[in-house]
Amino acid sequence: TVDMYDTMEREGRDSLLILPNDAMSRIPKALSEMTDIMNTGNAAVVMVAKEVDKEDARGSLGIMKINDKGEIEAFAEKPKEFEEGYVDENDNCFANTFQFAVSKEAFEALTILEPHLPASNSGKEPRDWSKTYTPILMALVQNDSPEDMQKQMDETVKSGISKIPPEVLMEAKEALKGQKIYAVKSNEPWADCGTLNALYHTTMQ
């Protein structure tokens, strides 16, 4: 997906909408809200967050902390136990539906960092937006010093990242132009269809 940055440069696109291949949804309201936020020029990423019962999320869905400004403060990838701040008084939490818009600036930052991300002898390792790219962008957004960025990436990026030169981290942060990471809260229809059983039942519905 990061290779799309070159296409965006050529065609003059400001952002890209990324959707999963193992889910079904109808999100006209959320899509409108995402577009409005992206059009401000202040967002690196805008995700659609689905409100779910915590027991439906336990061990199966990534969840997030969202502050009063709509900014995503933290992620927990398929937690079996819930840390403070992820679950509300009604035992609900906001799940990552993997439906999100990414700005051209965010792609530029990732393109700068890409040569320093883990690779095997056969080439690049598969990249995961939830486990790799989003935690990297959050580390850039939430910290001012390269040392703090690297520390947060060491703690949150699941594939592991070796030390990135401080000047590269700062170049990537500058490419973001102060953009932040937001969520749009949605109660529109969404279903994870990652198994044959789930696909069948969702199709019947």
Residues 6+ apart with CB under 8 A from 179: 41, 42, 43, 44, 103, 105, 106, 141
How does residue 127 score in pLDDT terms, banded at 50, 70 and 90? confident
Q: What is the pTM of this model?
A: 0.86
* Beta strands per DSSP E along 80-125: 92-103, 119-120, 123-124
Q: What is the mean pLDDT of residues 56-81?
A: 90
Q: Is a pLDDT exceeding 70 seen at residue 18? A: yes
Separation of CA 65 from chain center: 12
Q: Is a pLDDT exceeding 60 seen at residue 99? A: yes
Helix (H) or strand (E) holding 176, with range, is helix 166-176
Tens-digit pLDDT profile for residues 24-37: 899 999 999 999 99
Determine the pLDDT at residue 123. 52
Q: How far apart are CA 38 and CA 66, in angstroms?
A: 17
How does residue 159 score in pLDDT terms, banded at 50, 70 and 90? low
